[in-house]
Amino acid sequence: MISSIVSRVKQKQIAQLIAKGIRLDGRKLTDYREIKIEAGIIERAEGSARVLLGKTQVLVGVKIEVGEPFPDVPDQGVLTVNAELVPLASPTFEPGPPDENSIELARVVDRGIRESKAIALEELCIKPGKKVFIIFIDVYVLNHDGNLIDASGLAALAALLNTKMYNYELENDEIVRKPGYTPLPIRNHPVAVTFGKINNQLVVDPWLEEEQVMDARLTITTDKNENICAIQKGGSGYFTTQQILDATKIAKEKAEELRKLVVEP
Amino acid sequence: MISSIVSRVKQKQIAQLIAKGIRLDGRKLTDYREIKIEAGIIERAEGSARVLLGKTQVLVGVKIEVGEPFPDVPDQGVLTVNAELVPLASPTFEPGPPDENSIELARVVDRGIRESKAIALEELCIKPGKKVFIIFIDVYVLNHDGNLIDASGLAALAALLNTKMYNYELENDEIVRKPGYTPLPIRNHPVAVTFGKINNQLVVDPWLEEEQVMDARLTITTDKNENICAIQKGGSGYFTTQQILDATKIAKEKAEELRKLVVEP
Amino acid sequence: MISSIVSRVKQKQIAQLIAKGIRLDGRKLTDYREIKIEAGIIERAEGSARVLLGKTQVLVGVKIEVGEPFPDVPDQGVLTVNAELVPLASPTFEPGPPDENSIELARVVDRGIRESKAIALEELCIKPGKKVFIIFIDVYVLNHDGNLIDASGLAALAALLNTKMYNYELENDEIVRKPGYTPLPIRNHPVAVTFGKINNQLVVDPWLEEEQVMDARLTITTDKNENICAIQKGGSGYFTTQQILDATKIAKEKAEELRKLVVEP
Amino acid sequence: MSKPEKLLDKKGLRLDGRKLDELRPIKMEVGVLNNADGSAYLEQGKNKVLAAVYGPKEVHPKHLALADRAILRCRYHMAPFSVEERKSPAPSRREIELSKVIREALEPAVFLEYYPRTAIDIFIEILQADGGTRCAGITTAALALADAGVPMRDLVVACAAGKVDGKLALDLMDLEDKYGEADVPLAMMPGINAVTLLQMDGSLTLEEFQKAVKMAMEGCKQIYEMQKKALKAKYVAIKEEIQE
Amino acid sequence: MSKPEKLLDKKGLRLDGRKLDELRPIKMEVGVLNNADGSAYLEQGKNKVLAAVYGPKEVHPKHLALADRAILRCRYHMAPFSVEERKSPAPSRREIELSKVIREALEPAVFLEYYPRTAIDIFIEILQADGGTRCAGITTAALALADAGVPMRDLVVACAAGKVDGKLALDLMDLEDKYGEADVPLAMMPGINAVTLLQMDGSLTLEEFQKAVKMAMEGCKQIYEMQKKALKAKYVAIKEEIQE
Amino acid sequence: MSKPEKLLDKKGLRLDGRKLDELRPIKMEVGVLNNADGSAYLEQGKNKVLAAVYGPKEVHPKHLALADRAILRCRYHMAPFSVEERKSPAPSRREIELSKVIREALEPAVFLEYYPRTAIDIFIEILQADGGTRCAGITTAALALADAGVPMRDLVVACAAGKVDGKLALDLMDLEDKYGEADVPLAMMPGINAVTLLQMDGSLTLEEFQKAVKMAMEGCKQIYEMQKKALKAKYVAIKEEIQE
C-alpha cells in the first residue's frame, strides 16, 4: 500500500530492524504501547471511556434507548455498534457516511462483544416482541496513530463496564422511571489483540508507521475464559498456518494483560 | 448515440443490410432471437425464472411479504417492481442506486403487469386497511446483449406463474401458517414486444449492436385478450404515425408467439 | 467572494456610488425594490403566495397533514419549513439535496415564524401525544435576483394568512371531515429585513449585483409588537457594534412598511 | 379526491363540462424568468407549469462532453405543494422516468450538432398538477427552448387522449386519468409528422388505440397554433419595446 | 431533562449558582491532537469541544481552488453521545447551518490571501453539549487555527447572552437556552471591534437586545484573555522543552 | 427458518445427511457470461453464486490510479430474492465489510504490478444464499479472474469449518451457521500454504480453533481440485471448438 521512494526507504528500515527483533519506536515485537484508560468522562452518556494507546486516541460513548426487538429474537435487547473516523483524527479521514474501514472497525468491535455474550441482552427485554432496550456503542476515533481495533475494543469494554441504566417499573406497558441506577449486566470481557505482519514477522499493536508498511493484519479476540470469540484478517497480504497458530497463543497472553487494565483498575 | 468512426462504419453496415431486410446476425426484421425460459430456479424465492434472449440473460425473483396497503386502495395487495442493472452484466453498468435506465425498465415491466391486471391484487388483502401481501418482483439483469425490456417482461411473467403462496389462517389478526401452498392468482398474461428503428425501418427484438445504432425504440405490451395495455417510446429519435400502427399489429402477433413459450410450456 | 477583473471593476463602481448614497439601480440606501404579493395562486395547496421583490420571485405553498407530535411537546402541532433553490431560478443553483444555502434560508424563515409564535401550534393538536396537524411550508425560489430571505419570509407570511383548514370532528379517534373551512390560527406577523454591508455602509434589500460584492449580510426579523424575534449574520465579513444597532432601528421601520403590504392588502 | 360516480353526464359531457374532443383552457407566456436563457409558463386547466432553459453552456465534468454535439439534459420536477398530498422534494422514480422520456421527446427537435462540447439544460417545474403534466411540460419546454434561441427542426407539442366511461376523450384531467380506462400521452413535431413521445397505460383495443392516437394528434395541432401565437406575442412585444 | 419550575432563585442566582453576568467555568488547552496541524480542547461548563485544523493544503478537485486566496472549510459535528437522546452521526440541517455560520465567523479573521490555491479545513467535534456549543466551537477553532500557525487579524472569540425569567443573562446553558426567552450568540475579534457572528432567537425589545449585545461582548472579552493565556501556555511549554 | 431441535442426528449426521467432514455438493462452470472479461458460476449446496471480472481497464477518475500497479476493486452483493426475507438492493454494512475482506483475500494472488495505472473489477452476485457465501464468492471470483486471463500466483479457494452441537464440522450451511457455536471461514492459496482470509465468530478453545483451521484447509484443498478441473473443462471446450 505504499509507493513513494521515501516510504520505501522507511519500509526497508522498519523491516531490517524487525528482522533483529527491534521496532522503530524501541518496542519489542510483542510489546504494546503505553495504555491509558479514563472511564466516565462524558456525563451525558450512560457510559463512556477514552483510551490512549500511544498516540492513538479513541472515545467510546454508550447510549441506551427504548425500541423494538428484532423479530427473530423478540425477548432480547438490541446491540448496535457504530464507528466514526472523524476527520480531525487523521488527514486520511474524510467527512461523509461510514466507509469500508469504519464499517469493518465497528463490525469487529461488535463481533467481540456479541460473540462473547459480553452483554446479557436477555435481561434488556422490557416487553417481549414490543419493547426492549437498545444499546448504542459509538466508537469515536479522535487521533489515528495505528491499531484502531484494539484501542476501540478496549474503550468499548471500559465504557460498557462504566454504563449505568436507570431503574424503572412498568405501568400499563409504559416505562416509569424510579430513583437510582443499576450497572449494565456485563458477563464477559472480550479483548482484541492485533498483529501486523512485516518482513514475514509478527508484531503486536502495530502503530501507524508500521501499518503503512505491513503486509497484512490479524486480530484475535479472546474472552475471559480464554476462548477465541472473533478473528479478522485484513490487508492485502497473507499468513502461514504457523503464524496463525503462533498469533492465537500470543493473543491469549496479551489479552490477559490488557483485560486487567480495564476490569480491575 | 454513437460518435466514433468505427461505430459509424458499423452503423452504416447495419443500416445497409436492414434496407435489404437482413440483419447483422442473420435474422429477419421481425424475428426474435432464440428464447429459453427456466422457471423455479431460485428455491428461496416464492417464484423465479431466468430468461435467455439470445445472449441477454435476465433473472427474476418474486418475494412475498406482509405489509400495509396504500391508503387509497385499502383492500388490495401491493405490487412493487424493481430492476437492478448489476455491473457484472455489462461494462456500461455502474454500481450504485438505480439510474434512469433501470428505473424505466422497472416501470415499463410494472406497467404491463399492473395495467393488464395480471395479478388479482384484491385477493391479496389480509385485513382491509391494515395488512396485505406485498409482491416484490426483482428484475436482475445478468448479461446485457440488448432488449432488456422484453426479456425482463417475459421473466417476470414466468416467475409470477411459478409463484407459490403459503396457506394461512387469521387468528386474532395474526397470520398463522397452514400446511401447503397455493399459486399466486394470475389473471392475465402481458407480453412486451420491442422495436428498434434503424434507417427508418422497424426491427423486432433489437440486440446490443442494433441498440447502439438505432434512432428510437418502441415497446408495445399486449395482453391475452389482444388489448394493448402499455406502450413506451424511448431513444432520441421519432416514429411516424404509420410506423406506430404497423408496430401495434406486429406486436400483437409476436406477443402471441412469446406468450405460448411462457404460459403453456 | 469575487475574483475576476470585471467583477472588481463593478465592485468598485458599486462601492463608489454607495459612498455617495446612491445604488446602481437608482435606489436610496434604505429603499426596497418594488414588491408585488399575490396570495392563493395554488388552489391545490391549503395556502399559497407568490412574492415579486424586484426580479426576485418566490412561491410559497402551505400543506397540512396529520401526523405525530414531537415527544417533548405532545400537545402542539408541528411546523416544518423547507426551501428549494430549484435550478430554473439561477445558473448557480444545482439539482440535488438541499445545500447549506437552502438550509440556511429555510431555517431563517422558520425561526421568524417559530420564535414570534406566529402560528398557534397549541390549537393544532388533535389528540395529545398521538395526532396533530403538521404544517409544511415549502419555499420555492423561482428567480434569484438577490435577498431571498426577505422575499421568502414575506411569501411565507402571506401564504400562512391565506391558509385554510378543513373543519373536522373526531369520531373514535378518527378525523371525520365536516363542511367548511377555518383560517389557520395566525397570531403574529414576523417580517425579515436584510442588510448588505458594502464599502462599510449598510444597504437595505441587496439585489444580486450587490450580493456579489458585499462583505456581509445581516437579517433582522421583528414582530408586530416591534420585538426582535430572529437575527442572522451571513457572509465572510463583519459588522461593528454601531452598525448592528443602526440596523435594528432601520429594520423596525422597514418591517412596519412591509407588514402592511401583507397583512392589510 | 374520491372517485366520482360517473365521468360523463347524460349529455356525454365531462366533469368540467367539456365535450369529448375538447381541450382544457390553455394559457401560455414566453420569457417569464430573468436568469434563464429561455423560459415559458403554461396553464392547461389547473395545471401550472414553468420551464427554463440554460445553455448551450460548458459541461462539468468535462469528460461528459461530446465531441460532435451538445448533450441535452432535462429535469421534470413537482413542487411539494403541487399535488393533493405533499410530495417530498427528492426526485421520485416517476419523476426520473418522466425526465428521461421528456428529454427524448424534445431531443429529436434540437440541432444538437450545432453546439459540440456543450450542454443544454431544461428544467420543468410543475407548480400545480391536474393530469397530463408530462405533456404540459413538453409543450412548455419547447417554448422555453425557442425563447432561448436554440435552433429546432420544429416545435414539439404534446397532448394526451384516453378513454373514460367507455368513450375516447381528449386531454384527460386528473380524475379522468385516475378513474378512466386508458391514457395515451403523445408528443410530436406537427410540421414533419414525427411522434417523439408515446406512452400508454390502461386497456385499449387496436382500433381504439388508433383512434386515440389520431385524437391526441388533433389536440397537438391545436396547441401547436397557440405555441406559435405565444412566441409571436413575445417578439411583437420586444419589437414594440425597441421601437418605443 | 424536564422543565424546571424557575430558572432563577430568590437571590437571582441561576440553576448552577451563577450570577446573571457570570461565565461558566472554562478550561482550554492548545495542541492536544497529534495528526492535526493545529488543535485545541475546551470545556465550558459541561460543554466539551475539540477542534482541529488541517492546512493550508492542496484542494481536490482542483477546480474548486481559488486563484487569489485559500478556501476555508468548516464542519461542526456532534458526537452521537453528546446529547440526551442519541444523535445520528449523519449531519443534521442544524449542523449544516452551524457549519456555515461558524465558517463565516472565522473567515474575517484569516489572511486567506496568503495561501492562494489551497484549502484550510476546520473540524469541530462536540463531545458533550450543554448549550452554547456554536460559540464554544468558534472559540476552540480560533485556538486551533492559531496553533496551526495560520496568520490571523485577531483571535475570534464567541459567547452568548440571553434572557431567562425576564432577566438578561450571560453564557446560557442548555436548560436556560431551552426554557429561556431569548438567546443571542455573538462572535467577535475584540482587538478590532468586529462582530463576525450574530444570531438571535426568542423575543427581545430593541433596548434589551442592545444590552444583550453588550453583555455578550463583555463575555467575549473575558474569554479572549483566557485564549491568549492558553496559547502562551503552549509556547512556554514548547520553549521549556527546547531548553531542556 | 425456525431453530431445529438438533443439528446432528443420533448417527452424528447433519441436517442434510452429510458427515461432519463432508463438503456440500459443488458444481462449477467457467466462462458463463458474455460481456465480462472473465466469469464463473458456482453452486455449493443451495448457494448459487455468479462472479465476473472486468479489466485490467482504465481508471476513472484518473487520480485514483497507481503508478506502479493495478488497483483491485471488489463488490460482493446479494440479490434481493437470495434470502428468506427480501433484502434491499442497497449495499448493507455486512456486504461492505465482506467486499473488503474478499478483495483482501484475492489481492495476494494477483500480480497487480503487471498492470500499472489500471483497475481490475470483481463483481460477485449471490443469487441464492445458504451459508458460507463469502467463501463461495471467493472460490468463484478466483475462477473468474483466471478466466479473464489475469496472472495469479495461485488460485484462491475458500471454505469454512465450524462447530455444531459440540462437534467440529466442515462447510456449514445456513442453519448450522445460525444455530451452531462457531464459524471459521478461511481462504488460501493451497500451492503456497498462504491463508488470505481468516475470520471467526462464536466460541472455540485454542485447540478447537486449531482443528477447525486444519479442517477448513482440507476442505479448501478438495475444492481447489474442482477449480482446476472446471478451468480445464473450459479450455478443453475452447480447444474442441477451435479444432472443429
Judged by DSSP in three states, E86 sits in coil
Length of chain C, in residues: 265
Whether F1 is covered by a domain: the verdict is: no
Per-residue pLDDT of chain B (265 residues; tens, 9 = 90+): 344 566 778 888 898 899 899 999 999 999 999 999 999 999 999 999 999 999 999 999 999 999 999 998 999 999 999 999 999 999 999 999 999 999 999 999 999 999 999 999 999 999 999 999 999 999 999 999 999 999 999 999 999 999 999 999 988 888 899 999 999 999 999 999 999 999 999 999 999 999 999 999 999 999 999 999 999 999 999 999 999 999 999 999 999 999 999 997 5
Q: Which of B3, B103, B240 sits opposite D96 (nearest CB)?
A: B103
Contacts of B16 (CB under 8 A, 6+ apart): B199
E153 interfacial to chain C (CB closer than 8 Å): no
CB E67 within 8 A of CB E117: yes
Confidence of residue A1 (pLDDT cuts 50, 70, 90): very low
> pLDDT at residue C1 above 50?
no
Cross-chain residue pair E33–A140, CB shorter than 8 Å: no
Number of domain units in chain F: 1
Question: Is B202 in contact with B247 (CB distance < 8 Å)?
Answer: yes
Find chain A residues with C-beta within 8 A of F203's C-beta: 115-116, 223, 227-229
Query: CB-CB: which of A231, A237, A252 is closest to F199?
Result: A231
Contact B136, B13 (CB under 8 A): no
CATH number of the CATH domain containing F224: 3.30.230.70
Rounded CA separation F127/F137 (Å): 11
Let me know: does C161 contact C262? Beta carbons within 8 Å: yes
Are A230 and F100 inside 8 Å of each other by CB? no
H or E stretch covering A249 = helix A241-263
Residue C209: other Cβ atoms inside 10 A: 18
**Which residues neighbour E65 within 8 Å (Cβ) at sequence distance 6 or greater?**
E59, E71, E117, E118, E119
Closest chain B CA to residue F60: B94
Q: How many other β-carbons are positioned within 10 Å of the β-carbon of residue C19? A: 12
Min distance D121 CA to chain C CA atoms (Å)? 9
Burial of E154 (0-12, 13-18, 19+ CB in 10 A): middle
Say yes or no for a CB contact (<8 Å) between B248 and D194: no
Structural Rg of chain C based on CA atoms? 20
d(CA C83, CA C60): 9
Mean pLDDT of F163-187: 97
* The C-alpha cell that represents F205 in the structure block: 478453545
In a domain, D20, yes or no: no
Quick check: helix, strand or coil at residue A42? coil
Q: Pull the grid cell for residue E20.
A: 446573571
Give residue D62's pLDDT.
Answer: 85
Pairwise CB contact (< 8 Å): B86 & F33:
no
At residue C187, what is the residue type? R
Degrees to nearest 5, angle at CA B230 with B111 and B186: 55
Q: Where do the structural domains in chain B lie, given as residue ranges?
A: 32-263
CATH of A32-263, one of 3.40.50.300, 3.30.230.70, 3.30.360.10, 3.30.450.20: 3.30.230.70
CA separation, residue F151 to residues E212, F111, F114, F120 (Å): 73, 6, 8, 12
Count of residues making up chain F: 244
Phi and psi, residue A150, nearest 5°: -65, -40
pLDDT at B2: 42
| In-domain check, residue E7 | no
Residues of chain B contacting F, Cβ within 8 Å = 41-45, 48, 55, 57, 59, 61-63, 65, 82, 84, 86-91, 95, 97, 136, 138, 140, 142-145
The neighbouring-strand residues paired with C177 are C168
F82 to B44, F74, F173: CA distances (angstroms): 6, 19, 14
Please compute the mean of the pLDDT values over residues D69-98 and round it to a whole number: 97
Residues of D in Cβ contact (< 8 Å) with C88: 33, 36, 39, 50-52, 123, 125
Chain E CB contacts of C228 below 8 Å: 200, 203-206, 209
What does the pLDDT average to over F61-90?
Answer: 95
The per-residue pLDDT for range E126-158, each reduced to its tens digit, is 999 999 999 999 999 999 999 999 999 999 999
* Chain C residues close to E94, C-beta within 8 Å: 107
- Name the least confident of A36-50, A245-259, B247-261, E59-73: E59-73
Phi first, then psi: what are they for F33, rounded to 5°?
-120, 145
Name the nearest CA neighbour of E226 among E39, E13, E40, E20. Answer: E40
Which grid coordinates are listed for A134? 437498545
Within a domain: D62:
yes
Which chains have 3+ CB pairs within 8 A of C? D, E
Q: Are D128 and C90 an interchain contact pair (Cβ–Cβ within 8 Å)?
A: no
From the centroid of its chain, how far is CA A90? 18
Distance from the E89 Cα atom to the nearest Cα atom in chain A, whole angstroms: 8
Percent helix / strand / coil, chain A, rounded to 5: 30, 35, 35
Residue among B63, B95, B144 whose CB faces F35 most closely = B144
**Residue D126 neighbours by CB distance under 10 Å:** 25
Which residue type does C147 have?
Answer: N
Nearest CB neighbour to E80, from listed A55, A87, A136: A136
Q: Please state, rounded to an integer, the average pLDDT across all residues of chain A.
A: 94
Are C208 and C145 in contact by the 8 Å Cβ rule? The answer is yes
Residues of C with Cβ-Cβ distance to D127 under 8 angstroms? 42, 59, 140
Residue F202 region, left (φ>0) first, then alpha (ψ -120 to 50), else beta?
A: left
Which residues share a beta bridge with C203? Answer: C196
What ipTM was predicted for this assembly?
A: 0.95
How close, in Å, is residue D239 to chain B by CA atoms? 35
Rounded to a whole number of angstroms, the distance from the CA of B174 to the nearest CA of chain D is 31
Which chain F residue's Cα is nearest to B95? F75
Crossing angle of helices B148-161 and B100-115, in 10° steps, is: 50
Helices (H), D23-173: 93-106, 133-147
Please identify which residue in the block is written with the cell numbers 469493518.
A104
Q: What is the pTM of this model?
A: 0.96
Which positions of chain E have pLDDT values less than 50?
none
Residues in chain C closer than 8 A to E199 (CB atoms)? 231-233
DSSP string for residues in chain F: -PPPS-SB-TTS-BTTS--TT-PPPEEEEE---SSSSEEEEEEETTEEEEEEEEEEEE-SSGGG--SSS-EEEEEEEE-TTSSSSPPPSSPPHHHHHHHHHHHHHHGGGB-GGGSTTEEEEEEEEEEE-SS-HHHHHHHHHHHHHHHTT--BSS--EEEEEEEETTEEEES--HHHHHHSSEEEEEEEEGGGTEEEEEEEEEEE-HHHHHHHHHHHHHHHHHHHHHHHHHHHHHHHHHHHHHH-
Q: What percentage of chain B reaches a pLDDT higher than 70?
A: 97
Q: Do chains B and D touch (3 or more CB pairs under 8 A)?
A: yes
Q: For residue range B44-96, list pLDDT tens digits in order.
A: 999 999 999 999 999 999 999 999 999 989 999 999 999 999 999 999 999 99
**Percent of chain F at pLDDT exceeding 90:** 91
SS3 category, B166: strand
Residues F92-131 pLDDT 10s: 999 999 999 999 999 999 999 999 999 999 999 999 999 9
pLDDT at A5: 64
| Cα angle value A148/A152/A158 (rounded, 5°) | 155
Which pLDDT tens digit goes with each residue over D118-157? 999 999 999 999 999 999 999 999 999 999 999 999 999 9
List the alpha helices (DSSP H) in chain B: 5-19, 100-115, 148-161, 208-213, 241-263
Structural domain including F67 reads 26-243
Q: Please report the DSSP string for E39-68 in residue order.
A: EEEEEETTEEEEEEEEEEEE-SSGGG--SS
In this predicted structure, the answer to whether residue A264 has a pLDDT above a threshold of 90 is no
Q: Chain D partners of B196 at a C-beta cutoff of 8 Å?
A: none
Q: What angle do CA B19, B25, B29 make, to 5 degrees?
A: 45
The pLDDT value recorded for residue D193 is 93
> What is the DSSP secondary structure assignment for residue A22, as one 8-state letter?
B
In percent, the amount of chain C with pLDDT more than 70 equals 97
Shortest alpha-carbon distance between residue F125 and chain B (Å): 8
E209–C contact, CB cutoff 8 A: yes
